[in-house]
Amino acid sequence: MAEQFDVIVVGSGVAGLSTALAARGVRVAVVTRGVIGLDGASAWAQGGIAAAIGPGDSPAQHALDTLKAGCRRNHKAAVRWMAESAPDVVRWLVDIGAEFDHIGANLALAREAAHSFPRIVHAGGDASGAEVMRALRSAVELASHIKVFERSQVRELIKLNQSVVGVAVQGAARADGEAEAFELYAPHVVMATGGIGQLFLNTTNPPECDGSGLALAHRASAELNDLEYIQFHPTALAPQQPGQGEQLPLITEALRGAGARLVNEQGQRFMLSLHEAAELAPRDILARAVWTQMERGHQVYLDARMIGDAIRQRFPTVVRSCQQRQIDPRSELIPVVPAAHYHMGGIKVDLHSMSTVPGLYAVGEVACTGVHGANRLASNSMLEGVAFGRALGERLARMPKTARIPPVGLGIWREPNKGAPISEAMVFARLRQLMWSTAGLMRYEDALESAVDQLQLLERRCLAGAKVLDQLLVGRLLVSAARKRTESIGAHSIQPRRPQVSGQAAA
């Protein structure tokens, strides 16, 4: 089967659905691995959307905070445009039905780390992503120009005359257990596949965030940029069994903005001596401080007891996560660990979200727009996804219609051969452990060099067509990028060799 569209969007998070909705007047296909709007990281976002709409605030100050957090490695024009677009992004989301929290007639604004003003628009206290995705999903369901392909995975980008012209898709499994294979064609293919958190043992990201979009783009010869810049959130709910490698619930940064403090098992508030902003220091500093405590054999906790009963109304998502672990945050400490959270690198794009390959675009976390630099400012991610996605969709809708693309029928993907010499699940588990220990918060040149060799060995042991080859490829590209950047900056911290310390970091 082959079907023609004007635009194909791969992914159904905030960036993908914003692109699809904005491309009114043309036929749009949305291909998503799960259920539209529910797979991927967007629905899990707690913090909200940064927008300079409060008293005394300005887009210029928002841009300055973004540049400071990013160690001024940001694309300044992209940062300026995004900050100026933020108020309109909030208005657009309200227009399509998003219900944000209010104080009286005004939107409630929270403050998060490294922001100069309260400027975080949120919903349901700490359920902002879920509310934004609900509104976007509802709008897509009513949009006659969008056709959705759920439970379908793009296995390859199709190229013709050096341009991307379509996607080869593995569809949902039929009653007989076999998956339908089909091709979709369009002059514009938009990658919106999210991040790479699942490549690491501890992550706040769901299973779909496994780097597959980066692998697809790389194989299509698109340039990737800043792969080494990975933000680790300092406060994910610690796993009950260290080393089990599950998606960890996020303990939102807004909780620290409300007064929660980081302490170790001895009650020491260690951030006071490390940064003038203490618990509101930039995320990379906080995460590495937590990591260092763990390497020294300490357990780290978030103390939110001073918030009292108000925590139930202000942070219901956090309370539910804690209750599932039989923790009452009103009276008990919350055990936390750092976890892979957001990828600042990705497919290199220009201000119009165009990659280095004609016909291929990228928005959201899979893209490297340059707005985040070496470290993302909190709550700029949903803003980036909606702002760039919406602008791209509107631009593509204005493009001149092109002639029908003849089906290429390359047959360039296939299912893995049966009886692989090594279990893909075992390979993926080994990959996550290896990435966590060598390419995590603290990186060491000798360990990165060894990791490249180990990843290449794992690739050789997998048969052609194995899906885990995508993750091994991205892992190897990331480790290689980390080796090349010998300067510690922002989210990237590197030393020649691991120092000898007492204790060991929890897996």
Question: The whole model's pTM is what?
Answer: 0.91
Two structure tokens written together for 364: 């959201």
Contacts of 75 (CB under 8 A, 6+ apart): 351, 369, 370, 371, 373
3-state helix, strand, coil in the chain (%, to 5): 35, 20, 45
Task: Give the mean model confidence (pLDDT) for residues 195-206.
Answer: 94
CA 161 → CA 185, 357, 358, 406, distances in Å?
14, 11, 10, 12
Confidence of residue 243 (pLDDT cuts 50, 70, 90): low
Q: What is the mean pLDDT of the chain?
A: 91
The DSSP code for 164 is E
Query: Tens digits of per-residue pLDDT, 415-471?
Result: 555 444 568 889 999 999 999 999 999 999 999 999 999 999 999 888 777 889 999
pLDDT greater than 90 at residue 337: yes
Just list the catalytic residues: 283
In terms of domains, do 250 and 380 share one? no
Query: Tens digits of per-residue pLDDT, 146-184?
Result: 999 999 999 999 999 999 999 999 987 766 667 789 999
Q: Write down how long the chain is.
A: 507
pLDDT greater than 50 at residue 319: yes
pLDDT greater than 60 at residue 310: yes
- pLDDT at site 507: 42
Question: Which domain, by its residues, includes 79?
Answer: 2-228+344-397
Residue that terminates a domain, selected from 324, 339, 354: 339
In terms of domains, do 222 and 240 share one? no
Picking from 480, 490, 487, the residue whose alpha carbon sits closest to that of residue 438 is: 480
The identity of residue 7, as a single letter, is V
39 versus 386: which is more confidently predicted? 386
In terms of domains, do 213 and 290 share one? no
Q: Are 416 and 179 in contact (CB under 8 A)?
A: no
Q: Which long-range contacts (CB under 8 A, 24 or more apart) does 407-412 make?
A: 407/2, 407/183, 407/185, 408/158, 408/160, 408/165, 408/166, 408/183, 409/2, 409/183, 410/156, 410/158, 410/168, 412/156, 412/158, 412/168
505 within domain boundaries: no
Bridge partners (DSSP) listed for residue 200:
none
167 within domain boundaries: yes
- Number of structural domains in the chain: 3
142 within domain boundaries: yes
Query: Tens digits of per-residue pLDDT, 221-238?
Result: 999 999 999 999 999 999
In terms of domains, do 92 and 219 share one? yes
Q: What is the CATH number of the domain that holds 146?
A: 3.50.50.60
In terms of domains, do 89 and 140 share one? yes
- pLDDT at site 154: 95
With pLDDT > 70 as the criterion, what percentage of the chain qualifies?
Answer: 94
pLDDT greater than 60 at residue 502: no
Rounded Cα gap, residues 304 and 354, in angstroms = 44
Residue matched to tokens 């994910």: 236
Query: Tens digits of per-residue pLDDT, 14-33?
Result: 999 999 999 999 999 999 99
Residue that terminates a domain, selected from 304, 322, 339: 339
Rounded Cα gap, residues 253 and 495, in angstroms = 28
Task: Give the mean model confidence (pLDDT) for residues 386-395.
Answer: 98
In terms of domains, do 330 and 348 share one? no
pLDDT greater than 70 at residue 324: yes
pLDDT greater than 60 at residue 412: no
- pLDDT at site 400: 87
What's the start-to-end Cα distance of the chain, in Å? 45
